[in-house]
Structure 1
Amino acid sequence: MNIQDKIAIVTGASSGLGRAFSTSLVEKGALVYGLARTEKALQELKQELGENFIPVVLDISEEKKVEEWVSDTFSKKNIPQVLVNNAGLGSFNKIEETSCNEWSGMINANLNGMFLITTNIVKLMKTTSEVKHIVNIGSVLGKVGRPESAAYCTTKFGVQGFSAALLKELRVDHIKVTCLNPGSIATDFFKTSGIESHQHMLQPKDLADTLIHILETPDNMLIDEITVRPLNPKKPD
């Protein structure tokens, strides 16, 4: 895919990995709709990236609001070619200390939200024969378990299954599906579990470059899954 002039949607765009994805896509010439719940952070990113970044304050776990935004924004003449399902929550506790609110919040953001935005966008993507691409951001914790991470691991194992099934369903409609599984990333995402970011972790810019590589593959070539880990994840002495 040639990213220039394509329409892209990035969920969880206001910080961390989503912010890096949005930046790289705009730099490649895409028009990016950046979705998040925090208006201030989105507006700050808009000031950095300019007119090719459109901030959208939206909770993707709210069914009616997602449906309304998609129908108000897009049409058969204005179809997104790229969807990056990046939004997610993480809370890391022992299972008996995990509240129902924490569990439900992760299920809603990491799975239900991904489903809601995807099902609405796919309806539009199917109306054209050009190649489109959905990239779901999974995690190494969707492949292996981790203590005090049962809820988060459950959602990311779900992302794996969602991606694998979606790929087989949508490939005949010229829609690629990729599951990108990063290891530890130098953001504040794991702060609640006592893990501070450091320079040995994966850098958001490097993962954004990986996303661009995946999107720019030839139309008849699909990277269905990729796992990216830091070479040496230990904190420097």
Structure 2
Amino acid sequence: MNLSGKNAIVTGASSGIGISFSKKLIEKGAKVYGLARRLNKLTEVGAELGDSFIPVKMDITKPNDIQQWATETFSEDNLPHILINNAGLGIFGNVEKLSIDDWKTMVETNLNGVFYLTHELVPFMKDSDEYHHIINISSIAGLLGNPQLTGYNATKYGVRGFSEALFKELRYDKIKVTAMFPGSISTHFFDRVGNETHSNMLQPDDVADTLIHLLETPDNFLVNEITLRPLNPKNPNEK
């Protein structure tokens, strides 16, 4: 896909790899609708990235709000060419100590939010003669289970299953679907769980470069799953 002039939707665009995704897309000539709950953070990102970044205050766990925004924003004259389902969160802990609300929050954000937005945008893509691409950001936790990650694992495994079914469903409609499974990325994600980041983690811009590569593949070439890992994941400051 030639990204120049394309419309891209990026969720979780106010921080972390969402910012890097948005920056790299804009550098390629795309217009980015950046979705997140914090409008003040989105405004800061927009000030850095310029007029091609459209801040959209959106809670992706609210399907009615998503439906209204999609209907008001997109049409046959303004198509959603690219959807990056990136927003997600992790709440870690032993299963007996993980609250019901925390479990529901992860399911609503990491899994249901992916469905809600995809559900609204796919009809626009199907009605178009152009090629489109949906990229769902899962995690290495969508491939490997670990203690104290039951909720996060469950939702990220769910993203993998959703993505595989979706790519088989949409491949004949000129809609690509890719699931990305990155390992630990140096972002503020780890601040919430009390872990420090370090230079041997994946870097956001490198992950974004990979995303751009996936989007720019030839029209009849699909990478439906890709795993990203640091070669040496150990903290270089630890002996």
Q: TM-score range by the shorter chain?
A: over 0.9
5+ long unaligned stretches in structure 1: none
Number of the residue aligned with 1:28: 28
Q: CA deviation at 1:129?
A: 1.8
Number of the residue aligned with 1:138: 138
Alignment check: 8 A CA contact 1:92 1:192 kept: no
Number of the residue aligned with 2:148: 148
Number of the residue aligned with 1:74: 74
Question: Which one-letter code corresponds to 1:133 in the other structure?
Answer: H
Determine the C-alpha separation between the residues in 2 that align with 1:89 and 1:12. 10
Number of the residue aligned with 1:161: 161
Number of the residue aligned with 1:194: 194
> For 1:84, what is the secondary structure of its paired residue?
strand
Question: Which one-letter code corresponds to 1:105 in the other structure?
Answer: T
Q: CA deviation at 1:195?
A: 1.8
Query: Which 4+ stretches in 1 moved above 6 angstroms?
Result: none
Q: CA deviation at 1:191?
A: 2.7
TM normalised by structure 2 equals 0.98
Does 1:47 pair with 2:35?
no
Does 1:57 pair with 2:64?
no
TM normalised by structure 1 equals 0.99
Determine the C-alpha separation between the residues in 1 that align with 2:147 and 2:191. 15
Number of the residue aligned with 2:211: 211
Determine the C-alpha separation between the residues in 2 that align with 1:78 and 1:127. 12
Q: Percent same amino acid among aligned pairs?
A: 55
Question: Which one-letter code corresponds to 2:223 in the other structure?
Answer: I
Determine the C-alpha separation between the residues in 2 that align with 1:122 and 1:108. 20
> For 1:235, what is the secondary structure of its paired residue?
coil
Does 1:95 pair with 2:101?
no
Determine the C-alpha separation between the residues in 2 that align with 1:47 and 1:78. 24
Alignment check: 8 A CA contact 1:93 1:193 kept: no
Determine the C-alpha separation between the residues in 1 that align with 2:152 and 2:166. 21
Residue correspondences, number = 237
Determine the C-alpha separation between the residues in 1 that align with 2:99 and 2:93. 9
> For 1:78, what is the secondary structure of its paired residue?
coil
For residues 150-186 of structure 1, the C-alpha deviation after alignment (integer angstroms, 9 at most, x for no partner) is: 0000000000000000000000100000001100000
Q: CA deviation at 1:236?
A: 1.1
Q: Which moved more, 1:193-202 or 1:49-58?
A: 193-202
Question: Which one-letter code corresponds to 1:43 in the other structure?
Answer: T
For residues 187-230 of structure 1, the C-alpha deviation after alignment (integer angstroms, 9 at most, x for no partner) is: 12123333211100000000000000000000010000000001
Determine the C-alpha separation between the residues in 2 that align with 1:196 and 1:123. 42
